[in-house]
Structure 1
């Protein structure tokens, strides 16, 4: 059995003395594993975050199988000196590796991941990262609805988010329950044309909101914890916010 696809390398581990087991997130086959035997010449093609054309083959579908890969592009050259972007790259691949079941296609999530990949290369990744995590949360079965008030239906003066439904609540409707509601970050009130220009503080606030729902509705119910790479991303960005505040 064999198939062809495109995917991004999520993780790797040694398999014997000369082989690697690579996890890829592919466009049409979801997260998938396989073995590859790199040569000295192409070892750099298998870095985490690399976008590849891939062929997977095995005698039976349930077997581990083998990869044949052709490198398309990698964002690493553009972000190698950017510690925050490197943290975001490892956070995104780690989240997919932890949360996505094997062999389950998620086309919208893959599209969001490719946009993030392009954002790294163009050094304009903040908004794309938030949309990636939002798509990841939706693929895990929980959708945020932040366009109108859950209580009144109005689209203006939105200020809170229900921790149970993930729906927005207006300032007037939510004020009596303020202590029980989450604050709606400014990022989600911006138009698409300006979301990529968000400040680091706005990025951290958006990350915190999505983190709440990822932990409650995607990770904890499966006995999983937030990957260390994602925790490190939040810590690095929060430290920059604090440094800016004290400057």
Structure 2
């Protein structure tokens, strides 16, 4: 078995004296793992930092084997290590992907969203809202997508105010009626009229927890909670930008 192409490093861990086991995100093959001989050397370790793009060739005798990588640099993302905020964003993404995705299960849309998010963080562009949208894509790709653009009861696209905690469907205030106290207010960043980034991340967290209980069987990685705390502790007000503006 063989695969070749560009990928983004998601995680690495030491394997023996000189090798590392690399987990990488590919558009065509999903998450793939393999051994990189000599990957623990100083020169190779710099190339294999999480978030960097690398050119990989993966080989295995059998499809269910771990296999091995030949790796070459493609594009570094030094901005992901530039400060604590950027590193927190990278750590959350790098923890959530292996938590949520089985190996070798392609999700091209999620891979594209991941690359766009990491590019924004690397460039120092505002990325808080893109991160929030990335979590929505993650939920959608795994069958837990939220329907926030129309009322599940009336079909209206205006006046959306709540979200069902069970179905993830939006409803208007009028349609909610007496059920409103049992619903989650739809936050402003997701099309509602109240609440901000903290409320929006609490909403996606609720459905990530539901996904974990129904589909994954293990709690969300702590890195996600740490990022949420940073984003909602004033950092979100500046949209997590290291640049001007």
Length-normalised TM-score, structure 1? 0.87
- DSSP-derived class of the 2:232 partner: helix
* Pairwise CA RMSD: 2.0
Distance across 2 between alignment mates of 1:242 and 1:16: 41
Distance across 1 between alignment mates of 2:31 and 2:19: 19
The number of aligned residues is: 232
- DSSP-derived class of the 2:234 partner: helix
- Partner residue, 2:242: none
Distance across 2 between alignment mates of 1:203 and 1:73: 31
- Partner residue, 1:2: 2
Give the CA deviation at 1:243: 11
Quickly say closer, same or farther: Cα 1:137–1:57, change in 2 above 3 A. same
Quickly say closer, same or farther: Cα 1:181–1:32, change in 2 above 3 A. same
- Partner residue, 2:220: 226
- Partner residue, 1:189: 191
- Is 2:207 the partner of 1:205? no
The 10-residue stretch of structure 1 (122-131 or 143-152) with the greater mean CA deviation from structure 2: 122-131
Match of 2:42 among 40, 43, 63: 40
1:38-97 Cα offsets, whole Å, 9 max, x none, are 23322201111112221101222221111122222233x224343222111110110001
Distance across 2 between alignment mates of 1:29 and 1:74: 21
Distance across 2 between alignment mates of 1:127 and 1:235: 15
- Partner residue, 1:195: none
Where in structure 1 are there 5+ consecutive unaligned residues? 191-200
Distance across 2 between alignment mates of 1:32 and 1:241: 33
- Partner residue, 1:193: none
- Is 2:71 the partner of 1:69? yes
- Partner residue, 1:153: 155
Q: Please say if residues 5 and 27 of structure 1, whose CA atoms lie closer than 8 Å, have aligned partners that are also in contact.
A: no
Quickly say closer, same or farther: Cα 1:29–1:206, change in 2 above 3 A. same
- Partner residue, 2:105: 104
Give the CA deviation at 1:241: 6.8
- DSSP-derived class of the 2:62 partner: coil
- Partner residue, 1:197: none
- DSSP-derived class of the 2:179 partner: helix
Distance across 2 between alignment mates of 1:64 and 1:241: 40
Distance across 2 between alignment mates of 1:140 and 1:83: 29
Give the CA deviation at 1:239: 2.9
- Partner residue, 1:143: 145
- Partner residue, 2:178: 176
Quickly say closer, same or farther: Cα 1:58–1:241, change in 2 above 3 A. closer
- Partner residue, 2:92: 91
Distance across 1 between alignment mates of 2:76 and 2:99: 22
